[in-house]
Structure 1
Amino acid sequence: CIPKKLMHQAALLGEAIEDAAAYGWDVGAVEGAKPKHSWERLVAAVQRHVKDLNAGNVQQLKSKEVTYYNAFASFTGERTLRCVGPGGEEITLTADAFVLAPGGRPRYPDIPGAKEHCISSDDVFGLASPPGKTLVVGASYVALECAGFLHGLGSEVAVMMRSIPLRGFDEQMAILITADMERRGVTFL
């Protein structure tokens, strides 16, 4: 996901600025001090980048004479698709073949209050201010990416997992990644 990558890059830049003074760079940071960061400017830059990228993708499709629909879709028959656009407008499409690119949607834990009191990995990219002290539920690569960039941007972060981190990935790498995150200050519960 591009917003996660941009937030991660911002966190890496902050770490590089911190380290730069020790190597002779005068970047306005005092050696050992944390550089200042503007969450608002980061969120605006991420949203602008994603908007520009999406517009470019739509333009490329149009240049290839591909009809693009930004809508929720469901099949109503073997070759029939019902689409509902962002404004509630409905259209029915019939074709021999469809290309559906739904993207993934975060799932909230099935516990009381989760939807009212939690933010998803998608929500974090539009927050008006940094989330501050954060509990990340789960240890998938998405969860660990979010935990890593939030910590790198100054939030106190804990990761709550039920068993092993990065299930399905190389176990040794998962151990190295979580050990590095712990060394940097992320807590694992």
Structure 2
Amino acid sequence: MTYDFDLFVIGAGSGGIATARRAAEYGAKVGIAEFDRLGGTCVNRGCVPKKLMVYASHFADIFAESQGYGWSPVASSLNWEKMITAVNNEVTRLNGIYQRMLDNSQVELFPAYAKLIDAHTIAVGEDRQVTADKILIAVGGQPVKPNIVGIEHALTSDDVFNLKAQPQRIVILGAGYIGSEFACILNGLGTEVTQIIRGDMILRGFDDDLRSEIQQAMINHGIRIVNHTEQVAIEKDAEGVKVTVRQAGQEAETVVADAVSLAALGRLPNTKNLGLENTKVQMRENGAIIVDEYSLTAEENIYAVGDCTNKINLTPVAINEGRAFADTVFGGKSRTMSYENIPTAIFTYPEAATVGLTEAEARKKYGDDAIKIYRSRFRPMYYTLAGKDEKTMMKLVVDQNTDQVLGAHMVGNHAAEIIQGVAIAVKMGATKADFDATVGIHPSSAEEFVTMR
């Protein structure tokens, strides 16, 4: 049978675009549909604008710290509208780059919503249908709005990039990395921040030492963290947005926010209204598409990558999954995505990054007696003249039976940049002896990873 396309991609986020271009390099005729801006969550509502705001949030501290090095005091204030406009202009520029990348790869873009009619037919918009031999679903995820009284008065994490004015007070619901990052960003920009979490600590799933280090630093920087909450309700009145919260064993209290409350309680696969019921594609209860190691669904010609499969929801993972699919199906180079030792960063203040197993995961997998922990906590040289008591924490999780480094974790300045290099060693199976035999770069914080005893 003849099809309009060898591959049709639904969703032009980072994973979808990377896959489309890689398949096109192998000579495939590729189409891609996207009803929103190109680049998906990462470019438009995630990694890129968030990181730019992280940079913006650091300048007040830099101005103050410079005085310890002899610079005169700086009197400066944030122009929120200028900052947000600059951030969104950069996003628009990147949208244009993605368009040119697709054009240069001769991938046909359909700026419309796509829906599956059957396993080979896609409705694109209201008045067109196309057919494809292979179909890739790369529609990403969307923020969760939980069943909380008054949730309609809360913004999602996506919405903060469109605020016309800076909130003077904000309540953040959620303990994950998105909520924690925005708490630090807005705090650094001068907003009074209250973060409401259900558990004892933020960042569930990360190493406990990393979690406690970040949480205490956030508190030290003026963020109020309300933990062990059992009930939350939101209402809006003339004063702004009122969040009523009750901690375990305590009376309820009301926190007043400045006209906005940011909900950051995770994301779910964006798989509704895709027409998946017209195919054999199977999903989990949360809407995640079930795929095998080759990203293949239960339908023999339909694949899925990225956040819509809800494996590890990181942009580089979606890109790698997509390229592995294209290499296998169109390039004749069979390969799968490895999910072991994937590094990740948390752009809180202080920043954190991690690769490999947490201490708890290592002890569960190998047993307590097999695990040895190397940990270092110190004040970086940068803060000595600045007169600040900021700390950096580094940690290695080691299997004593093999001497292999199973995990590396860091909290402190430039953690992401440092862990990226460490991740190569961990991925290759480096031992603690390999780390010890590596000459450190002095003076640097990074050298601590090769000098810990």
- TM-score, normalization by structure 1: 0.86
After superposition, residues 73-88 of structure 1 pair within 5 angstroms as 73-84=114-125
**Residue in structure 2 matched with residue 156 of structure 1 by the alignment:** 192
Superposed CA deviations along residues 140-174 of structure 1, whole A, max 9, x for unmatched, are 11111111100000000011111142122222111
| Structure-2 residue corresponding to 1:139 | 175
Which protein is richer in strand relative to its size? 2
Equivalent of residue 61 in structure 1, options 81, 95, 102: 102
- Name structure 2 gaps, 5 residues minimum: 1-46, 227-453
Can you list the C-alpha shifts for 1:125-146, whole angstroms capped at 9, x where unaligned? 1111012211110011111111
Query: Is it true that 1:113 corresponds to 2:158 in the alignment?
Result: no
User: Which residue in the other structure is 2:27 paired with?
Assistant: none
Which residue of structure 2 lines up, in the alignment, with residue 4 of structure 1?
50
- Shifted more, 131-140 versus 93-102: the winner is 93-102
Residue type at the aligned position of 1:171: D
Alignment equivalent of 2:212, drawn from 153, 175, 188: 175
CA distance in 1, matches of 2:135, 2:172: 36
Distance across 1 between alignment mates of 2:215 and 2:113: 37
Percent identity, aligned pairs only, is: 34
Aligned mates of 1:186, 1:60 — CA distance in 2: 42
CA deviation string 1:76-132 (max 9, x = no partner): 211222334xxxx554332122344323321222123212x1111111111110122
Q: Which runs of 4+ in 1 moved over 4 A?
A: none
Worse overlay, 167-176 or 104-113:
104-113
- One-letter amino acid of the counterpart of residue 183, structure 1: N
Q: Which residue of 2 aligns with 1:29?
A: 74
| Structure with the bigger percentage of helix | 1
* Structure 2 letter corresponding to 1:73: A
Gaps of 5+ in 1: none
Matched, 1:92 2:165: no
CA RMSD of aligned residues (A): 1.8
Normalised by the length of structure 2, the TM-score is 0.38
Matched AA of 1:4: K
Higher relative contact order (CA 8 A, sep 6+): 1
Alpha-carbon distance in 1 for matches of 2:205, 2:215: 15
> What is the aligned residue count?
179
The one-letter code matched in structure 2 to 1:72 is Y
Matches of 2:167 and 2:56, distance apart in 1? 16
Q: Take 2:195 and 2:127, find their aligned partners in 1: how far apart are those partners? A: 41
Q: Deviations over 1:38-84 (max 9, x none)?
A: 10011001100001011101110110011223433332211222334
Distance 1:70 1:172 in 2: 46
